[in-house]
Structures are given as structure tokens and as C-alpha cells.
């Protein structure tokens, strides 16, 4: 895995180098500023696959550099790990909005650092296997057009959706929040009520485009709110937003459905695709959950799953779990 490490502190940079060497990573380049990093990215023949970016740097900071890299300067599927001191925790939301995947803390803990690098390397390798170093849309078309690993549970990353991040990045974002940050955050789950039936009936490529359309509808309905959105598999999405954001569930569900209806979705046979997007109750962090920030994501999924079960019961749509497990899992 080819790495670029960016930090303006020469002592910390030397420590990072020693840690990389000790962990077995020797294919790396260092830079002492964002400007220096951009020059080295342009000069590099083979694209960097992982970036370690200090948040606080003179001139262009790590978050701004992250945006630059995500605008097309890094390899598709590359991993960006932010290096953050305790005082920078409040900046992590901006970092994830900018395209960061993960973070490590200062002072550096070698075990944590090595774990984050191994995870980044695993994701880079997975990206290579799926062909994510080619044009993004073509890659995803191939991913959903016959690969066995696209199942009803696959939490795929959808490109070009406003404020959309991967499921792992969403989990890392929640883990990075301070206690006050957790209290200020709420999560909301969204679910396609008929997803099981659609998944069995439609071609995988059509399911992928459907998920893109629904994600766009959700993002459009939240356009006046600061949010992060991810896909969790099984036709369900998770949104993280501010606790004070004035969101009425019924009104939001209506807005999303209006966006979906306006798209005029249909199967490749021309048959109209009748679907309903449900919205769960907003989930907040309690004192008991401070030690388990990922419960915000789990609770959002549980809430919208309850809404989906009720909706299917009211509309006489039963589960066909045996059939879809045999056919797609």
C-alpha cells in the first residue's frame, strides 16, 4: 500500500515514520505541508492509496487538503485517515464531510495505529478486487452486474450523492464524536418497504440504480439540513444530523416520496416500480449509550425496521426470507 503522510511537526513525522517501518509499511512519502503534499501527489506516477493527514497545519489545513484529494487527486478507492489531537475532535464532522474514512489520535498509540492501517489496507485491496481503480460508475456497474458478492445485505457505497459516505466511514464518524458531539447528534433510518420483493424481481444493476435514486431523493429532502448519509444494506439508509434540526418524520417521508414519484421509476420491462420509502423515529444518545456510540446507527435501523414491518403488515406484504436467502445469499 502506497502512503502519503502529511504533518508540519518534524518530530511527530519522524515518529510516524518509525511506526510505519515497525508495522511493515515501507512504501511511503512524507510532506510537511498541504502545499508540499499536493506537489508530491502531482509528481507521483502511481497514485497514493492511503493518506495520513494532520488536521491542524499552517496555511491549508488537513480538511481542506482532504477535499482537494477527494476532488480527483487521489486514487479511486483510496483511504484517508485524519490524525487528530483531542482539541481537533470538533473538526471531525467537517473531515468526514470532506471525504475522510477514519482517524487516529495524537499522541500516537501504536496498536491503534496499526489496526487503522490494516483496515485501510484491507479496504484498498477490496477496492482493487472490485475494480475501483477505474471510472467510478463503470466500476459499480460491473460490481452489480453479475458478481456473486452483491447480495441483499451488501452495504455498497453510492457515488455522486450529496453528503454520502460509506457505512464504515459513518461508523468511524460516530466513534470520533466527543460526548457533547454525541448529545448534539441524532440519527434517522430510511427503508424501502418492498425492497425484498424488488431485489428478487429486478436485475442487480437496476437495484443499484434504484438505491442511487432513493439516496438522491433522501438527500434532496434534507437539502436544508447539515447531514451525513450512508447505505446499510437490506434497502435501509442511515442519516446522521444535528439534534436541533427541525425534522418532522411524516413531513420528511412525504418529501422523500414526492421526490421518488417525480422520478417515474420502472423496471427494465417498462413496468412501473411501485415503492414506498419509510422513515423511522429520530434516535438520540442517552447517558447509558455514551460508551456505545454505534448504538445510534443500530437504533435508527431498528426503528425504521419496525415501521417497515408494520407497513408490510398493513399492506399484506409478507416476508419471503427462505426464497431470497436461497437465491441471493
User: What domains are there in the chain, each with its CATH number?
Assistant: 3-129 (3.40.50.2300), 136-328 (3.30.70.270)
pLDDT in tens, 41-77: 998 888 899 999 999 899 999 999 999 998 876 656 7
Global pTM value? 0.69
Instruction: Compute the chain's Rg from CA coordinates.
Output: 21
- In angstroms, the CA 8 to CA 166 distance is 29
Which ranges of the chain have pLDDT less than 50? Answer: 132-135, 137, 142-148, 318-329
Q: 63: which DSSP letter?
A: H
pLDDT score of 320: 41
Could you tell me if 9 and 62 are in contact, meaning their C-beta atoms sit under 8 angstroms apart? no
Residues 6+ away with beta carbon under 8 Å from 45: none
pLDDT score of 319: 43
Look at residue 111 and give its three-state secondary structure: helix
pLDDT score of 288: 67
Of all residues in the chain, what percent are helix, strand and coil, respectively (each to 5)? 50, 15, 35
pLDDT score of 291: 63
pLDDT score of 133: 39
Amino acid at each position: 500500500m502506497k502512503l502519503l503522510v502529511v504533518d508540519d511537526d518534524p518530530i511527530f513525522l519522524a515518529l510516524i515514520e518509525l511506526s510505519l517501518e515497525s508495522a511493515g509499511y515501507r512504501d511511503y512519502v512524507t510532506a510537511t505541508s498541504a502545499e508540499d503534499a499536493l506537489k508530491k501527489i502531482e509528481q507521483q506516477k502511481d497514485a497514493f492509496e492511503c493518506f495520513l493527514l494532520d488536521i491542524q497545519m499552517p496555511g491549508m489545513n488537513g480538511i481542506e487538503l482532504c477535499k482537494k484529494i477527494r476532488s480527483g487527486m487521489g486514487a479511486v478507492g483510496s483511504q484517508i485517515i485524519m490524525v487528530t489531537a483531542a482539541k481537533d475532535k470538533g473538526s471531525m464532522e467537517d473531515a468526514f464531510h470532506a471525504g475522510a474514512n477514519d482517524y487516529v489520535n495524537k499522541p500516537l498509540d501504536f496498536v491503534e495505529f496499526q489496526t487503522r492501517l490494516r483496515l485501510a489496507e484491507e479496504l484498498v485491496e477490496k477496492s482493487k478486487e472490485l475494480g475501483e481503480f477505474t471510472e467510478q460508475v463503470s466500476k459499480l456497474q460491473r460490481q452489480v452486474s453479475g458478481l456473486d458478492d452483491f447480495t441483499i445485505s451488501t452495504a455498497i457505497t453510492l457515488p455522486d450523492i450529496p453528503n454520502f459516505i460509506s457505512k464504515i466511514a459513518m461508523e468511524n464518524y460516530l466513534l470520533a464524536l466527543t460526548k457533547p458531539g454525541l448529545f448534539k447528534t441524532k440519527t434517522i433510518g430510511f427503508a424501502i418497504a418492498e425492497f425484498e420483493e424488488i431485489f428478487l424481481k429486478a436485475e442487480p444493476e437496476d437495484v443499484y440504480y434504484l438505491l442511487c435514486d432513493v439516496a438522491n431523493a433522501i438527500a434532496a429532502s434534507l437539502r436544508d439540513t447539515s447531514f451525513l448519509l450512508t447505505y446499510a444494506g437490506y434497502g435501509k439508509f442511515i442519516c446522521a444530523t444535528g439534534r436541533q434540526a427541525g425534522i418532522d418524520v411524516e413531513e420528511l417521508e412525504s418529501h422523500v416520496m414526492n421526490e421518488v414519484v417525480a422520478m417515474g421509476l420502472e423496471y427494465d420491462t417498462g413496468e412501473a416500480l411501485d415503492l414506498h420509502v419509510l422513515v423511522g423515529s429520530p434516535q438520540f444518545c442517552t447517558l447509558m449509550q455514551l460508551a456505545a456510540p454505534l448504538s445510534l446507527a443500530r437504533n435508527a435501523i431498528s426503528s425504521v425496521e419496525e415501521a417497515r414491518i408494520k407497513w408490510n403488515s398493513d399492506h399484506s406484504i409478507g416476508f419471503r426470507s427462505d426464497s431470497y436467502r436461497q437465491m441471493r445469499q
